[in-house]
Structure 1
Amino acid sequence: MDIIARDFKSVGYAQGIAQASEHPIISDGPSLPQYVGRPGTRHIKGFTISPTFFSIRKFRKVHPQKGPCAGNLQTVTPVKLALEAFYSGRTVILGPGPGFEPGLGDPQPERALFAKRRTETAENFEGQNVAMPAFVHERADDNQYIITKRHLDILLLELKANNVAEHHLKFVNRVIHKFLDKTAQHGDYWSFTVEDLISHLQNLQKQYSPSMYRKHITYLKKLFRIAGIPLEHNLKSPRYVGVDMTVITVQDVQTLLKVIHRVQFAKREEVSGRIANKIMLGLLIMATSGLRVYELTKLPLLYIDIDRGLIKVPPNVAKTGQARVTFITKEVQSLLKQYVERYSPNPDKPVISYFSLEKPFIRKEELANQPIRPKHMRKFFSQEWDRRNGNATVKKLLMGHSIRGDINALHYSHHTTESLQSVYDKVFKKLKFGAKLV
């Protein structure tokens, strides 16, 4: 569907923006020349915006008595000329079509998409009675909204400007496309109705926890704001989100480690032992450093200084995009050193991959029945730090919590790596699990 621009000062320019269909939408007048766009469509002094090249094409003038004929299309000016009429305050009619992106500076047209033409009023146009098109839905309750690829690019650009980590950008991309997969795609844009959105939200509520559902709502609202869709304020996330109140103690971690020792991970004993050792080391590193599961499984081994017990988390691995340091205990240092000497792992690869760490807790019955998971090791670190009366600000820095709202941590409480390690050693000096490699 083309978009016709009219209402410009020059004779050859168009005068406004109207919708073109298979039939003429502006009546012919004896004193007006005809310009032919395509067979079956006639326009008065018209320029059409090409859906392919997104440019305004001037049609060859044809004598009224000789009838319409197509040909000799010539690109003469960019689309900004067509939009000039709208942004300069002239009276225009917005119609849908390829290349037109509602939401980028214009409100979403609630009655413009997939519309049928209906003549309602007549307007005097240069002394001629011109029928003006009106847009109505096939169904009265069929309100369509659209999202374009450019809207998605703007959303990701906003997140990148806030230093959001690459893995989180991928998560947001999955959230958005999970919704778009339930909509109708038309080339470079998607259309949906309120009913489509409600159906998607109901499926999310059944599939995810309240906290994950809240995340989906958050990024859908951001996208709707960018696209100018008025549904943004109608999306309400649960006020009270279910919080994991699990309490993890040293004894709980020890129990889990004993179960890992007993599990047969592979038919060959040496392979099974190596898998068990990787899982055990991964859990202990998180339990004593406060690393997230994703950070551990993306952190190359070379970023761990085993002799100093120092872990450097680079910006591309940290969730917040901010580099930080954290530490491991003497016990974990010793186990990690034994592991490296025994298996000689690639220093450019992480100690354990995400798949290798999470899969056993789903596939192996002994681990699937355990009350704690790899993600709880970070929770243990936080709880055990508090139980040992550790400094709260230092804990934030070690765990990589956002400090944007913490004036003290943001502007005043700054620490060197040595001072952080000194505090860490005082708090976790006596922390031991009695763990051994298989």
Structure 2
Amino acid sequence: MELKAISDDEKQRYKTVVLKFLEDLSYNLDDKAIINYINKLKKEFAPKTARMHIIRIRAFLKFIDHPIANLIELPKVPKRRRRLVIKVEHVRDLLREIDEKLSGPYRLKLKSAVLLSATSGLRAEELYKLRLEDIDLENRTIFVRAEIAKDYEDRVTFFSKEAQDVLEEYLNTFKPSNPLFSKKSLLHQFSKLDTRLRMKHMRKFFSQQSDRLGMPTAVKKILMGHSTAGDVDLSHYDFQDEEELKKIYDEYWKNFRILG
């Protein structure tokens, strides 16, 4: 796992599940004990939770070449359509709560991060690793480095005039260090708020609001870093250069305001 791009949190979850499994079996990995344990998981947990536990146990058993590993079938999880709709008023309420409950650099930092992500489509993990040199404030452009992008490819995206104004105030007032928006810092500030929204929801808002504003889906996907493979329309727009993409972005987002 250390050789793969797996987060520390996910590695810890694997460790917790596997240690519980081994301890419950007193480290006696005979077939009958393993079968009984897996059946117990299926009875005790909801299908989705049981499935995640069994995935981790099976991965461990494969790693130690246990013969039963390839016989373990994962429980099926009922597919339910759950679409979280995030509207302008939801983000507006979040920004107002930030203004009311936070002060000084913390208020401007979180407000800048929210507006930047909500109008650019950045992934939360990309935002947490942004450096000052990744942002062209004057041209409202973000350069997403390959090393911080999920698909390991460089790309550009843009942000609104409203986000630019707040970010400029933050940078000029407090001269923050790199990274601009550390994960630990933002999560701590969110913990002081009553909202259920988190940074990951800002990307979802960008996607949904882009559709409401009528932005071409292909352009939206390029800005968000989605794969263009197998998508003829997306591949066509992928030939647009940075300047052309910005023109299309500005048509829909430049003057869009969340706070009115």
2:188 corresponds in structure 1 to: 359
2:86 corresponds in structure 1 to: 248
State the secondary structure of the residue aligned to 2:147.
coil
Higher strand share: 1
Match of 2:176 among 317, 338, 345: 345
- CA distance in structure 2 between the aligned counterparts of 1:216 and 1:409, rounded to whole angstroms: 37
Instruction: Find out whether 1:414 has 2:252 as its counterpart.
Output: no
Q: Deviations over 1:40-77 (max 9, x none)?
A: xxxxxxxxxxxxxxxxxxxxxxxxxxxxxxxxxxxxxx
Match of 1:194 among 21, 24, 35: 35
Match of 1:387 among 212, 218, 233: 212
What is the percent sequence identity of the aligned residues? 33
Instruction: Find out whether 1:433 has 2:241 as its counterpart.
Output: no
- CA distance in structure 2 between the aligned counterparts of 1:219 and 1:358, rounded to whole angstroms: 27
- CA distance in structure 1 between the aligned counterparts of 2:125 and 2:137, rounded to whole angstroms: 20
Higher helix share: 2
1:177 corresponds in structure 2 to: 15
Cα drift, residue 179 of structure 1: 2.5
- CA distance in structure 2 between the aligned counterparts of 1:218 and 1:361, rounded to whole angstroms: 32
Does structure 1 retain, via aligned residues, the 8 Å contact 2:61–2:69? yes
State the secondary structure of the residue aligned to 1:177.
helix
- CA distance in structure 1 between the aligned counterparts of 2:12 and 2:71, rounded to whole angstroms: 19
Alignment of 1:34-113 (within 5 A): none
Cα drift, residue 334 of structure 1: 2.1
Cα drift, residue 289 of structure 1: 0.6
1:51 corresponds in structure 2 to: none
Q: Please, what TM-score do these two structures have when normalized by structure 2?
A: 0.80
Alignment of 1:96-135 (within 5 A): none
Q: Deviations over 1:292-337 (max 9, x none)?
A: 2221112222211111111111122112222221111122112212
1:317 corresponds in structure 2 to: 148
Q: Please, what TM-score do these two structures have when normalized by structure 1?
A: 0.50
Match of 2:77 among 232, 238, 245: 238
- CA distance in structure 2 between the aligned counterparts of 1:262 and 1:332, rounded to whole angstroms: 19
Does structure 1 retain, via aligned residues, the 8 Å contact 2:86–2:208? yes
State the secondary structure of the residue aligned to 1:421.
helix
Match of 1:334 among 162, 165, 169: 165
2:95 corresponds in structure 1 to: 257
Q: How many residues end up aligned between the 2 structures? A: 251
Cα drift, residue 433 of structure 1: 2.5
Does structure 1 retain, via aligned residues, the 8 Å contact 2:119–2:158? yes
Runs of 5+ consecutive residues of structure 1 not aligned to the other structure = 1-151, 161-165, 266-271
Distance 1:251 1:172, change over 3 A: closer
Cα drift, residue 383 of structure 1: 0.7
Match of 1:283 among 114, 118, 130: 114
Does structure 2 retain, via aligned residues, the 8 Å contact 1:393–1:409? yes
- CA distance in structure 2 between the aligned counterparts of 1:233 and 1:404, rounded to whole angstroms: 33
- CA distance in structure 1 between the aligned counterparts of 2:51 and 2:215, rounded to whole angstroms: 32
Does structure 2 retain, via aligned residues, the 8 Å contact 1:182–1:200? no
